[in-house]
Structures are given as structure tokens and as C-alpha cells.
Amino acid sequence: MSFDQLETELAERRAAHLYRRRRLLESPQGPEIVVDGVRGLAFCSNDYLGLANHPALKQALIDGAERFGVGGGASHLVMGHSSAHHQLEEALAEWTGRPRALLFSTGYMANMGAINALIDKRDAVFQDRLNHASLLDGGLLSGARFQRYLHNDVTSLEQRLARTDARRKLVVTDGVFSMDGDIADLPALSAVTRQAGGWLMVDDAHGFGCLGPQGGGCVEHFGLGIDEVPVLVGTLGKAFGTAGAFVAGSEALIETLIQHARSYIYTTSMPPAVAWATLSSLKLVRDESWRRDKLNTLIALFRQGASALGFELMDSPTPIQPILIGEASEALRISQALEDEGIFIGAIRPPTVPAGSSRLRVTFSASHSEEHVLRLLDALERVGRPRA
Ligand code: PMP
């Protein structure tokens, strides 16, 4: 069988400005990066607190490798659950105020694993239509009746919940939406979910580290406990600056995941040295609140400047500050023009976002300076064209 068909599909994708290509990052993450041999200012990482290249974390990774070796060597249930993993799980449980936490190798796997351990074809899953792909994929794979509700719309969720007689009802939402930057209305979502006898699962990949006085994310921001959010997911590759993810919740939840989450059971544990480094990272996330304060200063400076230039921003108080452009071709043009000015910002296009809502996904990090933000605004003024 030939691959001509695939070639044709790829060509069509290219013609529609939807082709995805990888770039070669030749430096650590940071405000200034080297991409394909070119140095520039970056506003496209999820390293929100500027920890991915922090000296204390690098040293902890080295120390962890000395103590535990490099590879996990086996799955958690065979012989790959090291004391580094265990200590990190205990620290994450304490920090999130939950009895237990369970580590996964990636956030994608945490979401797939948790959803599929909790529900099957006897059940129903309700998802915000802008949820991350890993949540949507997890729901589809589960075989449960799959329903999407309107973005952050509690009434839309309530109506769907009222119409189901499923055994279990799992409501799933991003905490901070990854492509829009807005925060889910967790108090209201939790109230209607509990009223319907369901469980609320929150993936706060982008909220942990950034929101809440101690970086405890959306649940700390709203002051929600385990009764309101019984299934809480966080990732470690973003504000934590390392890699992996965790699910936090009750004893029964975590034991159920250990028994049934296939993406937990059938995979090698994350390198223990990464878990060890993440213990150091957790201390910085919790204690160095100046990083969150700095982010908020940068975000305010950007929003004020970009609005004054006429750009359409989204209703986001978080380090994810998309500029809405519209057409994929125009988003690509601006992203390329910015790159010609030495500024890297990703153009996000369908199917990651709905058609007609292509955007520049500007993300800030505590390692940026105010001068960096002013450089960005200056370049936007020159090359960007606000939406008519
Ligand atoms: N959830 C959300 C909301 C995300 O944005 C991402 C990553 N982009 C993930 C989960 C997946 O996490 P990981 O990169 O650790 O697989």
C-alpha cells in the first residue's frame, strides 16, 4: 500500500495553514532562548515561575541521580516505586490538603488513567467543550456517555446533568483553560455537580503554582476542599519546571487508581531523580510568592499595553494571555513577523482551538522583566494588526 493518500492529506493541511512543525530549541527554557540557531525573546513556554532552569533544581536532579540512579527501571507496581516518588506523593498530598496523591509520568496519562479508572459504559461524563485534549480523549476512551457543555456555563451543565440516569456522573473541567487562560467557575460547577450526586474532576495543570497565596492553584484561589473537588489533577512540567503529574484525593480514590488506572499500571515510573528535583521545586513554588507577584505585575502591564494598541485579549487573569486574531493564516503571519523581530510566540490554530479563533498564545514567566514586556508591545505595534 502506498502513502500517496497521506501525502495528499498533508499537502491539504499545509494549504490550509494548519501544518504543524517542530522547532529546534538549542538552549534551556528562559526569557531568552535559541531556536534553530537564532536567539530571541520567548513568550511561549509554560515555565510560568521560571523554575525549569533554576540552579537549585538542576542540583537536586544531580543529587537525585546520585541517590536513586537515572531510570525508574520498572513500573510502580513491580519495583519502580522509589522513596523519591513516595516522598513527593506525601508532600503533594500535604500541600493540596488531600489525604493522598499519586504520581503519573505525564499529565496526559494522569487524565486518561483517572477518568478510565472511575467510569465505564454504565456512566456519563460531562466535559467543558474547551477542555484539554487529554481529558476529552480520556472521556471518549471510557465508553461512558459523553456530553460536552458550553464553556464554563453552569446552566448548560445543570441541564445535561438533569437529563441523565447514569450510574456515575463525572464532571470534568480544566481549572485554568490552557488556550484561553480563564478560570473555571469551580464553586458553581461544584455545587451543581454535588446536587446531582456527581463527582467533579479538575485538571489544574495551568493553575498550580500561579494561583493562590501558596501556589495551590484554583482550589486554593477559591478555598475549595476535597468535598467540593474530590478529583484534583496537577502537572509538574509547567510551573513546577520538571515533568510528570499527580492526582490528589481520598484514600479510596487513590487506591482505585492504583488498581485500575492503566496509564499508571502499565508504564515505567518517572525517573526518580525527577521526583527528587520536584521536591525542591515544590518548596520554591510554595514559598517564593514573589514569583506570583511578579507575574501579576507583568500580566497587568501587558494587558494594559495590548488593549491600548487595540488588540483583542481574552478574559484571563493568568499567565496565559492569548491575543485573538481569527484566521489561521493571519495568526501565522504575525507570529512569523514577530519572529523576524526576534520574538517567539506560538500561533495556535484549529483543531487546537475552534475555527476562526486562531490566536497568538502569549505566556508569561516570572523570569521575564518589565523591559521584556515593553519590547513585546513595541514589536506588536509594528507587526500586528488588531482585529477589525
Ligand atoms: N492538562 C492540561 C490542561 C494541559 O494543558 C496539559 C499540557 N499541555 C496536560 C494536561 C498534559 O500534561 P503533560 O504535558 O504533563 O502531559
Domain end (from 224, 258, 287): 287
Res. 388 pLDDT band, cuts 50 70 90 = low
- State whether 134 and 238 are in the same domain: yes
Q: Cβ neighbours of residue 8 under 8 Å, at least 6 residues apart? A: none
Domain end (from 269, 287, 305): 287
> First and final CA of the chain: distance in angstroms?
48
pLDDT tens for each residue of 148-203: 999 999 999 999 999 999 999 999 999 999 999 999 999 999 999 999 999 999 99
Q: Which of 274, 296, 271, 253 is nearest to 60 (CA)?
A: 274
Question: 235 labelled as ligand-binding?
Answer: yes
Q: Which of 121, 81, 125, 105 is nearest to 262 (CA)?
A: 105
Whether residue 9 is contained in a domain is answered as: no
Determine whether the shortest distance from the Cβ of 235 to ligand 1 is under 6 A. yes
Q: Which of 201, 237, 323 is nearest to 51 (CA)?
A: 237
Whether residue 12 is contained in a domain is answered as: no
Whether residue 230 is contained in a domain is answered as: yes
Sheet with 231-235: strands ordered across: 100-104, 245-249, 231-235, 199-203, 169-174, 124-128, 145-149
- State whether 275 and 295 are in the same domain: no
152 vs 149: CA distance, rounded Å: 8
Q: Which of 102, 116, 113 is nearest to 270 (CA)?
A: 102
Task: Note the pLDDT of residue 41.
Answer: 98
Determine whether the shortest distance from the Cβ of 237 to ligand 1 is under 6 A. yes
Q: Could you tell me the residue range of the domain that residue 363 belongs to?
A: 18-49+289-383
Whether residue 134 has pLDDT greater than 60 = yes
C-alpha 385 to ligand 1 mean position (Å): 31
Cell of 19: 501544518
Using CA atoms, how far residue 40 sits from 44, 73, 365, in Å, is 11, 38, 15
Sheet with 343-344: strands ordered across: 32-35, 38-42, 343-344
- State whether 179 and 157 are in the same domain: yes
Task: Note the pLDDT of residue 387.
Answer: 62
Whether residue 4 is contained in a domain is answered as: no
Question: Which of 11-20, 74-83, 360-369 shows the lowest per-residue confidence on average (mean pLDDT)?
Answer: 11-20
Using CA atoms, how far residue 155 sits from 8, 9, 168, 181, in Å, is 43, 40, 20, 21
Question: 372 labelled as ligand-binding?
Answer: no
- State whether 227 and 255 are in the same domain: yes
Whether residue 89 has pLDDT greater than 70 = yes
- State whether 372 and 223 are in the same domain: no
- Strands 100-104 vs 124-128: parallel, antiparallel or unpaired: unpaired
Determine whether the shortest distance from the Cβ of 108 to ligand 1 is under 6 A. yes
- Nearest ligand 1 atom to the CA of 235 is 15
Q: Whose CA is nearest to atom 1 of ligand 1?
A: 205
CA 232 to chain centre: 13
C-alpha 108 to ligand 1 mean position (Å): 6
Task: Note the pLDDT of residue 340.
Answer: 95
pLDDT tens for each residue of 334-375: 999 999 999 999 999 999 999 999 999 999 999 999 999 999
Task: Note the pLDDT of residue 1.
Answer: 75
291 vs 309: CA distance, rounded Å: 27
**Number of structural domains, the chain?**
2
Task: Note the pLDDT of residue 193.
Answer: 98
**DSSP-assigned states of every residue in 278-295:** HHHHHHHHHH-THHHHHH
b/e for 21-44, b at 16 or more Cβ within 10 A? eeeeeeeebbbebebeeeebbbbb
Domain at 42, CATH number: 3.90.1150.10
Whether residue 386 has pLDDT greater than 80 = no
- Strands 245-249 vs 100-104: parallel, antiparallel or unpaired: antiparallel
Q: Give the mutation target among 29, 44, 103, 108 for probing the ligand 1 site: most ligand atoms within 8 A of CB.
A: 108
Average pLDDT, the chain: 97
C-alpha 93 to ligand 1 mean position (Å): 20
Q: What is the mean pLDDT of residues 44-51?
A: 98
Q: What is the mean pLDDT of residues 21-39?
A: 96
Lookup result for grid cell 487573569: 317
Question: Which of 15-19, 69-73, 219-223, 279-283 shows the lowest per-residue confidence on average (mean pLDDT)?
Answer: 15-19
Side-chain-side CA neighbours of 364 within 13 Å: the count stands at 31
Determine whether the shortest distance from the Cβ of 242 to ligand 1 is under 6 A. no
Determine whether the shortest distance from the Cβ of 238 to ligand 1 is under 6 A. no
Whether residue 11 is contained in a domain is answered as: no
Cell of 347: 500561533
- State whether 161 and 35 are in the same domain: no
- State whether 249 and 265 are in the same domain: yes
C-alpha 8 to ligand 1 mean position (Å): 31
Residues with catalytic roles: 178, 206, 238
pLDDT tens for each residue of 287-326: 999 999 999 999 999 999 999 999 999 999 999 999 999 9
- State whether 297 and 176 are in the same domain: no
pTM of the model: 0.96
- State whether 255 and 265 are in the same domain: yes
- State whether 67 and 106 are in the same domain: yes
Domain at 259, CATH number: 3.40.640.10
- State whether 29 and 155 are in the same domain: no
Q: Whose CA is nearest to atom 14 of ligand 1?
A: 107
Domain end (from 270, 287, 304): 287
Q: Which of 105, 45, 57 is nearest to 238 (CA)?
A: 45
Whether residue 37 has pLDDT greater than 60 = yes
Cell of 323: 491575543
- State whether 143 and 229 are in the same domain: yes
Task: Note the pLDDT of residue 2.
Answer: 85
Q: Cβ neighbours of residue 22 under 8 Å, at least 6 residues apart? A: none
Rg (CA), the chain: 21
Whether residue 310 is contained in a domain is answered as: yes
Task: Note the pLDDT of residue 132.
Answer: 97
Q: Which of 234, 262, 214 is nearest to 77 (CA)?
A: 262
Whether residue 2 is contained in a domain is answered as: no
Verify cis geometry, omega within 30 degrees of 0, for the bond prior to 230. Answer: no
Whether residue 1 is contained in a domain is answered as: no
